[in-house]
């Protein structure tokens, strides 16, 4: 096959002779750096949670000193806050609304109640309790601990199933769970006393217990959100497909946030039991559900501060309207009692918030973020405050400076038509700033022998053959193009390779390892990264966080190829926008970030879906050098789809043409341009000519 | 009948059409050709109001329709057969047709048209109760066109009707388009399949990178050398055959 | 923009926290003027009512509260208790158990010497335990659940009869009609609907009858075909079907029962004492017998009270039987204060425990020798020709343990 580079003889292969140890040293230096960064982030999060706690404690204690009833209100505030934070840990981070957290509070409440109530009382209320529980009496703190542990275990078992669900079906299942738990608590009379109040619970909850629980909840929630696992869960909230294509195990990360969330809610539940002294199943049902949900929604479910603020505000509103509703005398004016004022106002608030600020008052802003932005406003770089207009030029410059240096092609030069021009892209790539950076290009990053091989891929969708016996190969350091008319199946092929679809036939291997049957996250972890036709960024996460999701996967699964998010940021020139939310960036920059995220995975094969879409001629040529630069630095193979044939012919060393699911032509660009079949595929055939049929392609590897 | 003047369409930060001007006269078949990503679908979307034009005018029978809602544009006499058909897969063929005529005030006329489309596409009459998602490619395309006809349009826009169809079916579809024009419908057809369309279109425009780069009668454009180059890259040897 | 919003929010938060403090301080004195001190002195009798004016308890507590206001007004017009004017402070705890303690504390802070608790024990527990810290006694006007007396850890009092009492009365009345076999319908959804049939069976079988079967239902289930079918298939049919069901369920159920041709008597409890039952069940309501708090027999205090309440409110009371329990609780408190000779909460509490044959709106009430569930007359009412007809009023001779 003319034009097809032989294995090892790639551009990046020039560096293959370098000692792999350099790579290992870099990898461990990079990992050390990242650990440092993560530690700092966790510390900041911890500081933020402590700060938040201090504020909450001030409010609670301050209010409690005013009197007995106020002390009660403060305790109730703290207990609700624990529940709301617990809910935030799961729903806020995963984006899956759970209605079951009150059930875990209820289960824990009952376990602790049953274990700690005096045997004398149990002899009246639940004399026939199973497992001899009527005769068990534990000190309250021990009962509480046992309750939280057992509830968490129960939640974990349930979570194994629920973590697999997304969106509305997950929510409905959690609703069903709440109903089931309520039914069990009500009907298992011998254990719980049924619908009537289970009383006799030792009352131990006071402000200090409440504060202690809130402290634990805050720290757990903030640390989780700042951790790598928490980041992955948030990425699944933003875009599940992109997350798994970046190597995130969606189900597993959701599972852990579910377990953590239920543990915190269990903590809230035991506090409630030991505050009320008497509990009934209805106390952990719709009323509590709506209240805690309203609090979270009001404050903003994406952040822990939001959970806290929502709880405090709702409590304040509740108390104020309750006071008014009881018909007090205010400044000598006799206000008539208005029962239900409280509920009315709360409902109105929720409606207003949902319409006016659906992501809650605080969105996902955390306390330390708010403060640091104010304190560091002078010293901090633009962050999120650069106007969109200047952003475009900044980003455009960044692409030019970041990549033009890597590829020697000056911007604006006419693009050579033949692939021979790729030889010019041999300038030494910029070495990334960073500790222990080796002087070499990242040839050691990807194994020089990375080869993606697709043989006979077929994809049937209900009678329509989207792919029909398609085969192709991509080697390290190669830029391969996949072109074809609309509807030919190009994106389908990419989806099959990246694991989003399971092909109905065909074999795919990467370096001999079979990809068949692997899930997207597994394929990503093996080193195949991709971008999407319509950008799938984690919109609510910052650019840095977007990159970090992939980078952390690389560190875990491809340590030789892994680089830190910071390196990638500077490689692409994203430092200015590192802490900007991806969703507010201009479209062009977003596409670059998506490429950067794919690169952050340290891939051996990079799949690009229409990278030149929407770019004009000049921009496409810049993109040619950019892609070459990436190829040179990463040493990866690139497979790209695009409709801009100028762009494809200029960039790619080898091209496959797909039409109606079949590869009808392949070869170096000149060959493809010569082939009348390709013309016919795009333009149709002239009248009178019989449509040519594709000749049987010689199998790949044959001459 | 249809005048498009300096149409600019933007999606977020990307400008897909940089001021496209074209016209379609009554009784014509006009083609809009060009490589993918040129902006052909965006042009149709801008005309039909699926995307609000950022600038420019669209006039249908003298009246300005740019910026109007799609429903009012449909009521005004235009109808679109969308790219990849976009049938209501779970609904029956009959329901799809019904929905096509949903905006019409004159229900009697809608009924007459229903009979007429079923005469035009006998296979639909056979499959009235079948779910649209189960139709074959060719049948689905026919249903899509029939559904568009149900709104009683005077100008029919088709977006790549040949997409995903076998060559024989493509011929049938194009024959149908000719029949419809013969019955008085004006047609504006977007296609990648340039040569075949140029054989029966009265006129055509070539779109590239969001702007009109060429136009002329079907016969003229067929003879153009650089037509192929526009699609395939400047000096694609194959075009020279 | 963001940072400005952030600081605005912090400011808002601080402001609101301040507001909360203000409310918190205000809450103490705002409603009672010089509220004052608990304890022996003061020239007033202060009754605090922590009620579910909204939420699950509202159907019971709201009528009771209106009646309490009327009763207190009457007492004050007649010169008060021992010459002391009575002040009634009503606060809504929204049927929320967590709020009960807070609201009770507010009432105590306002000087309440005795507390009226909400209609259900689960939500009343907090009230009881909080009031107990200051030796203040809690009575519930309309709750009929015996566990109220123990749920808060300290003795609390029902003012209505216990469910065990009213079920026993129904059983006794049924036995008097010559009924020998019974069938019960329970629902675990409320302890009310769960335990009434248990108490009935205990009393019925104690008197020589036999419960031949039991079925369960869900409160609010729209269709009772399953339960009706089971009953209809019994041969011979039971003499009486007893349940704690209340309208609209009772109406739906009885219509289906009669439509299936079952002619067994249907006996219920005080939940049936509402006009809607007759309105909804139509002809099929005839023959339903239920136990309730009282009845406006001519010349009775009940009749007089309801008439007076109507005049006081300007409209007829919606649930007269439940309303009269409000009158009962005020009568009990009055009697206790008079017996104690002081407004000291502890003394009032002791006095309540010793009350004997006190005349109340619904007959007489005795606490002496009870655990908080009073000995109180139960009225039996039957529906005849679309009207409530008084049948009997008595204290049942056998009362099962709660």
Q: Over the stretch C279-316, which tens digit does the pLDDT of each residue have?
A: 999 999 999 999 999 898 888 899 999 999 999 999 88
Give the 3-state secondary structure of residue B64.
strand
- pLDDT above 70 for A371: no
B169 in Cβ contact with B137 (< 8 Å): yes
Query: If you compute the radius of gyration of chain A from its CA atoms, what whole number of angstroms results?
Result: 30
Contacts of A645 in chain B (CB under 8 A): 35, 231-233, 236
Whether C85 and C172 map to the same domain: the answer is: no
C143 in Cβ contact with C120 (< 8 Å): yes
Contacts of A65 in chain C (CB under 8 A): none
Whether C257 and C389 map to the same domain: the answer is: yes
Cβ distance B35 to A643 less than 8 Å, yes or no, reads yes
Averaged pLDDT, C120-149: 92
Interchain contact B122–A (C-beta under 8 A): no
A107 in Cβ contact with A154 (< 8 Å): yes
Instruction: Give the predicted TM-score (pTM) of the model.
Output: 0.82
Q: State pLDDT tens for residues B80-121.
A: 999 888 999 899 999 999 999 888 888 888 888 899 888 888
> Which contiguous run of DSSP H or E holds residue A658?
strand A654-659
Cβ distance A316 to C25 less than 8 Å, yes or no, reads no
Residue C401 lies in a domain: no
CATH architecture of A66-364: Orthogonal Bundle (1.10)
Contacts of A464 in chain B (CB under 8 A): 137, 164
Averaged pLDDT, C310-325: 89
pLDDT band at A415 (very low <50, low <70, confident <90, very high): very low
The pLDDT value given to residue A374: 53
Instruction: Using CA coordinates, name the residue in chain B closest to A462.
Output: B134
Most confident by average pLDDT, A393-397, B15-19, C36-40, C171-175: C171-175
Residue C4 lies in a domain: no
Render C33-62 in DSSP notation, one character per residue: SS----SS--SEEEEEEEE-SSSTTHHHHH
Contacts of A487 in chain B (CB under 8 A): 84, 160, 163-164
The pLDDT value given to residue C26: 52
Cα–Cα distance, A600 to A592 (Å, whole number): 12
Domain residues for the domain of C270 are 163-292+380-394
Contacts of A674 in chain B (CB under 8 A): 236-238
**Total beta-carbon pairs less than 8 A apart between chain A and chain B:** 100
Cα–Cα distance, C330 to C309 (Å, whole number): 14
**Residue A499, token pair as written in the block:** 């694991």
Instruction: Using CA coordinates, name the residue in chain B closest to A616.
Output: B209
Q: Which residue has the higher pLDDT, A106 or A330?
A: A106
Q: Which residue has the higher pLDDT, A68 or C200?
A: C200
Mean pLDDT of chain A: 81
- pLDDT above 90 for A360: no
Cβ distance B232 to A464 less than 8 Å, yes or no, reads no
Whether C204 and C332 map to the same domain: the answer is: no
Residue in the structure block whose two tokens are 């392609």? A697
Cβ distance C103 to A313 less than 8 Å, yes or no, reads no
Question: Taking the alpha carbons of A61, A63, A66, A72 in that order, is the dihedral positive or negative?
Answer: negative
- pLDDT above 50 for C357: yes
pLDDT band at A327 (very low <50, low <70, confident <90, very high): confident
Whether C138 and C286 map to the same domain: the answer is: no
Contact between chain C and chain A (3 or more Cβ pairs less than 8 Å apart): yes
Whether C240 and C313 map to the same domain: the answer is: no
Q: Min CA distance, A637 vs chain B (Å)?
A: 24
Burial of A296-315, coded b for 16+ CB within 10 Å and e otherwise, reads bbbbbbbbbbbbbbbbbbbb
Averaged pLDDT, C129-133: 93
Whether C244 and C138 map to the same domain: the answer is: no
A658 in Cβ contact with A682 (< 8 Å): no
Residue C343 lies in a domain: yes
Tell me how crowded residue A649 is: count the other CB atoms within 10 A of its CB. 25
The pLDDT value given to residue A257: 96
Averaged pLDDT, C183-202: 92
**Residue C165, token pair as written in the block:** 């009492």
Q: Which of A407, A445, A470 is nearest to A623 (CA)?
A: A407
Residues whose CB is less than 8 angstroms from the CB of residue C315 and which lie 6 or more positions away in sequence, other chains included: none
B84: Cα within 13 Å, side-chain hemisphere: 8
Whether C306 and C253 map to the same domain: the answer is: no
Cβ distance A73 to C24 less than 8 Å, yes or no, reads yes
Mean pLDDT of chain C: 88
**Residue A420, token pair as written in the block:** 């021979």
Contact between chain C and chain B (3 or more Cβ pairs less than 8 Å apart): no
Number of domains chain C contains: 2
Q: What angle do CA A332, A336, A337 make, to 5 degrees?
A: 125
Averaged pLDDT, A435-443: 36
Whether C318 and C363 map to the same domain: the answer is: yes
What residues in chain B have per-residue pLDDT under 70?
225, 230-241
Render C306-375 in DSSP notation, one character per residue: HHHHHHHHTS--SSHHHHHHHHHHHHHHHHHHHHHTS--HHHHHHHHHH--SEEETTEEEE-TTSSSS-E
Residue in the structure block whose two tokens are 């209320």? A125
Whether C269 and C390 map to the same domain: the answer is: yes
Averaged pLDDT, C213-228: 92
What percent of chain A lies above the pLDDT cut of 70?
81
Q: Min CA distance, C244 vs chain A (Å)?
A: 15
Strand partners, B33: B191, B206
Instruction: Identify from C14, C19, C27, C87 which residue to disrupt to test chain A contact, counting A C-beta atoms within 10 A and taking the largest count.
Output: C27
Contacts of A63 in chain C (CB under 8 A): 20-21, 24
- pLDDT above 60 for A609: yes
- pLDDT above 60 for A575: yes
Residue C17 lies in a domain: no
Most confident by average pLDDT, A255-269, A298-312, A330-344, B20-34: A255-269
pLDDT band at A18 (very low <50, low <70, confident <90, very high): very low
Q: Min CA distance, A485 vs chain B (Å)?
A: 7
Residue C346 lies in a domain: yes
Contacts of A197 in chain C (CB under 8 A): 120-122, 125, 147, 151
What percent of chain C lies above the pLDDT cut of 70?
90
- pLDDT above 70 for A52: yes
**Residue A645, token pair as written in the block:** 């044939």
The domain that contains C137 carries what CATH number?
A: 3.40.50.2300
> Which contiguous run of DSSP H or E holds residue C127?
helix C121-132
What percent of chain A lies above the pLDDT cut of 90?
51
The pLDDT value given to residue A323: 84
Whether C168 and C115 map to the same domain: the answer is: no
Instruction: Name the CATH superfamily for A451-527+603-702.
Output: P-loop containing nucleotide triphosphate hydrolases (3.40.50.300)
Cβ distance A195 to C31 less than 8 Å, yes or no, reads no
The pLDDT value given to residue B225: 67
- pLDDT above 70 for A372: no
Averaged pLDDT, A196-215: 93
Averaged pLDDT, C42-69: 90
Averaged pLDDT, C171-185: 95
Residue C358 lies in a domain: yes
The pLDDT value given to residue A123: 86
The pLDDT value given to residue A38: 87
Whether C264 and C387 map to the same domain: the answer is: yes
Whether the complex's predicted ipTM is more than 0.90 is answered with no
Q: Where in chain A are all domains bearing CATH 3.40.50.300?
A: 451-527+603-702
Averaged pLDDT, A204-230: 95
Cβ distance C24 to A68 less than 8 Å, yes or no, reads no
Contacts of C129 in chain A (CB under 8 A): 203, 277
A307 in Cβ contact with A87 (< 8 Å): yes
Whether C387 and C274 map to the same domain: the answer is: yes
Cβ distance A645 to B232 less than 8 Å, yes or no, reads yes
C381 in Cβ contact with C295 (< 8 Å): yes
């Amino acid at each position: 096959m003319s034009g097809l580079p032989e294995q090892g003889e790639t551009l990046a292969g020039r560096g293959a002779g370098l000692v792999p140890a350099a790579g290992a040293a870099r990898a461990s230096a990079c990992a050390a750096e990242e650990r440092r960064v993560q530690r700092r982030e966790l510390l900041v999060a911890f500081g933020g949670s402590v700060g938040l706690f201090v504020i909450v404690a001030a409010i609670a204690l301050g209010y409690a000193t005013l009197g007995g009833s106020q002390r009660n209100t403060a305790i109730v505030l703290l207990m609700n806050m624990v529940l709301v934070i617990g809910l935030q840990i799961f729903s806020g981070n995963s984006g899956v609304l759970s209605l079951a957290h009150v059930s875990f509070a209820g289960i824990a409440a009952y376990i602790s109640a049953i274990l700690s109530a005096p045997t004398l009382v149990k002899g009246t209320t639940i004399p026939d309790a199973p497992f001899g529980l009527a005769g068990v009496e534990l000190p309250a703190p021990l009962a509480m601990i046992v309750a939280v542990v057992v509830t968490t275990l129960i939640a974990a078992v349930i979570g194994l199933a629920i973590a697999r669900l997304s969106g509305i079906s997950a929510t409905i299942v959690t609703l069903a769970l709440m109903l089931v738990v309520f039914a069990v608590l009500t009907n298992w009379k011998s254990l719980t006393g049924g619908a009537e109040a289970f009383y006799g619970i030792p009352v131990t909850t006071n402000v200090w217990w409440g504060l202690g629980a809130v402290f634990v909840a805050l720290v757990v929630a903030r640390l989780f959100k700042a951790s790598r696992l928490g980041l992955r869960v948030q990425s699944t909230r933003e875009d599940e497909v992109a997350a798994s294509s970046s190597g995130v195990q969606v189900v597993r990360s959701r599972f852990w946030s579910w377990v953590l969330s239920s543990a915190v809610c269990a903590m809230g539940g035991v506090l409630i039991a030991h505050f009320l002294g008497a509990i009934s199943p209805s106390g952990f049902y719709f009323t509590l559900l709506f209240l805690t949900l309203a609090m979270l929604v009001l404050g903003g479910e994406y952040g822990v501060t939001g959970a806290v603020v929502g709880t405090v505000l709702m409590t304040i509103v509740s108390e104020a309207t309750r006071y008014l509703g009881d018909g007090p005398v205010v400044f000598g004016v006799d206000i008539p009692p208005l029962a239900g004022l409280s509920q009315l106002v709360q409902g109105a608030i929720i409606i207003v918030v949902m319409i006016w600020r659906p992501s809650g008052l605080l969105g996902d802003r955390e306390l330390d973020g708010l403060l640091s932005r104010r304190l560091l406003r002078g010293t901090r770089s633009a962050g999120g405050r650069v106007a969109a207009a200047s952003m475009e030029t900044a980003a455009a410059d960044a692409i030019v400076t970041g990549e033009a240096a890597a590829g020697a092609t000056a911007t604006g030069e006419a693009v050579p038509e033949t692939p021979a021009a790729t030889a010019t892209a041999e300038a030494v790539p910029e070495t990334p700033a960073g500790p222990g950076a080796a002087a070499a290009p990242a040839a050691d990053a990807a194994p020089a022998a990375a080869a993606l091989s697709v043989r006979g891929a077929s994809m049937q969708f209900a009678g329509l053959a989207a792919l029909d016996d398609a085969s192709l190969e991509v080697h390290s350091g190669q830029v391969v193009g996949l072109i074809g008319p609309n509807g030919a199946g190009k994106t389908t092929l990419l989806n099959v390779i990246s694991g989003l679809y399971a092909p109905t036939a065909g074999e795919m291997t990467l370096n001999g390892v079979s990809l068949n049957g692997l899930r997207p996250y597994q394929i990503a972890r093996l080193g195949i990264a991709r971008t999407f036709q319509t950008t799938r960024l984690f919109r609510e996460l910052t650019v840095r966080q977007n990159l970090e999701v992939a980078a952390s996967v690389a560190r875990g699964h491809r340590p030789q190829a892994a680089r830190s998010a910071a390196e990638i940021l500077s490689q692409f020139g994203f430092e200015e926008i590192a802490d900007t939310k991806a969703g507010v960036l201009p479209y062009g920059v977003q596409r670059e970030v998506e490429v950067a995220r794919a690169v952050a995975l340290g891939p051996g094969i990079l799949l690009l879906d229409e990278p030149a879409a929407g770019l004009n001629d000049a921009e496409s040529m810049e993109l040619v050098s950019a892609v070459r630069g990436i190829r040179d630095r990463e040493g990866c193979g690139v497979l790209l789809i695009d409709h801009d044939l100028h762009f494809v012919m200029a960039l790619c060393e080898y091209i496959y043409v797909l039409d109606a699911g079949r590869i009808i032509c392949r070869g170096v660009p000149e060959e493809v341009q010569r082939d009348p079949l390709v013309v016919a595929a795009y333009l149709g055939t002239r009248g009178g000519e019989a449509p040519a049929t594709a000749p049987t392609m010689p199998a790949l590897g044959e001459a | 009948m249809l005048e498009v003047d300096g149409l600019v369409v933007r999606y977020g930060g990307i400008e897909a059409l940089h001021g496209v001007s074209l016209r379609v006269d009554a009784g014509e078949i006009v083609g809009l050709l060009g490589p993918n990503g040129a902006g052909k679908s965006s042009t149709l979307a801008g005309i039909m109001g699926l995307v609000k034009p950022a600038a420019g005018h669209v006039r249908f029978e003298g009246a300005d329709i740019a910026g109007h809602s799609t429903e009012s544009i449909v009521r005004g006499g235009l109808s679109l057969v969308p790219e990849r058909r976009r049938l209501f897969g779970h609904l029956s063929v009959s329901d799809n047709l019904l929905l096509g005529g949903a905006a019409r005030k004159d229900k009697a006329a809608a009924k007459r048209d229903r009979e007429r489309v079923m005469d035009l596409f006998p296979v639909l009459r056979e499959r009235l109760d079948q779910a649209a998602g189960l139709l074959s490619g060719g049948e689905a395309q026919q249903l899509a066109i029939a559904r568009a006809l149900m709104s009683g349009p005077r100008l029919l826009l088709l977006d790549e009707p040949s997409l995903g169809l076998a060559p024989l079916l493509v011929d049938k579809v194009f024959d149908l388009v000719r029949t419809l024009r013969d019955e008085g419908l004006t047609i504006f057809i977007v296609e990648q399949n340039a040569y075949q369309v140029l054989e029966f279109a009265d006129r055509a425009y070539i779109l590239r990178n969001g702007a009109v780069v060429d136009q002329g009668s079907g016969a003229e454009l067929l003879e153009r050398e650089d037509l192929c180059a526009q699609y395939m890259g400047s000096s694609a040897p194959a075009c020279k055959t | 923009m963001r940072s400005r919003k952030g600081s605005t929010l912090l400011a808002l938060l601080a402001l609101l926290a301040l507001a909360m403090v203000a409310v918190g301080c205000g809450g103490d004195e705002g409603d009672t003027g010089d509220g004052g001190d608990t304890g022996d002195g003061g020239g007033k009798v202060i009754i605090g009512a922590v009620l579910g004016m909204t939420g699950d308890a509202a159907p019971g507590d709201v009528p009771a509260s209106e009646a309490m206001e009327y009763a207190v007004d009457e007492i004050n017009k007649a010169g008060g208790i021992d010459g002391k004017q009575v002040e009634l402070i009503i606060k809504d705890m929204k049927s929320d158990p967590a709020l009960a303690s807070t609201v009770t504390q507010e009432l105590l802070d306002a000087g309440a010497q005795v507390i009226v608790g909400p209609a259900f024990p689960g939500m009343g527990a907090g009230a009881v335990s909080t009031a107990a810290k200051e030796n203040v006694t809690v009575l519930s006007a309309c709750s009929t659940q015996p566990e109220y007396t123990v749920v808060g850890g300290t003795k609390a009092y029902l003012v209505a009869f216990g469910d065990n009492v009213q079920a026993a009365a129904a059983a006794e009345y049924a036995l008097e009609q010559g009924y020998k076999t019974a069938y019960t319908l329970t629902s675990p959804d409320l302890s009310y609907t769960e335990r009434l049939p248990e108490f009935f069976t205990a009393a019925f079988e104690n008197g020589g009858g036999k419960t031949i079967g039991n079925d369960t239902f869900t409160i609010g289930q729209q269709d009772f075909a399953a339960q009706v079918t089971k009953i209809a298939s019994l041969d011979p049919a039971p003499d009486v079907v007893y349940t704690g069901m209340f309208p609209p369920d009772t109406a739906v159920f009885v219509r289906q029962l009669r439509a299936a041709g079952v002619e067994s008597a249907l006996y219920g409890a005080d939940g049936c004492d509402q006009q809607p039952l007759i309105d909804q069940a139509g002809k099929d309501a005839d023959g339903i017998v239920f136990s309730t708090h009282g009845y406006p027999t001519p010349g009775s205090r009940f009749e007089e009270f309801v008439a007076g309440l109507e005049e006081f409110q300007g409209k007829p009371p919606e649930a007269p039987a439940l309303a009269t329990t409000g009158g009962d609780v005020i009568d009990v408190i009055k009697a206790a204060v008079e017996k104690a000779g002081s407004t000291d909460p502890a003394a009032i509490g002791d006095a309540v425990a010793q009350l004997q044959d006190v005349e109340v709106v619904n007959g007489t009430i005795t606490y002496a020798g009870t655990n908080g569930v009073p000995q109180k007359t139960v009225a039996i009412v039957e529906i005849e020709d679309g009207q409530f007809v008084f049948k009997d009023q008595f204290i049942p001779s056998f009362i099962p343990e709660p």
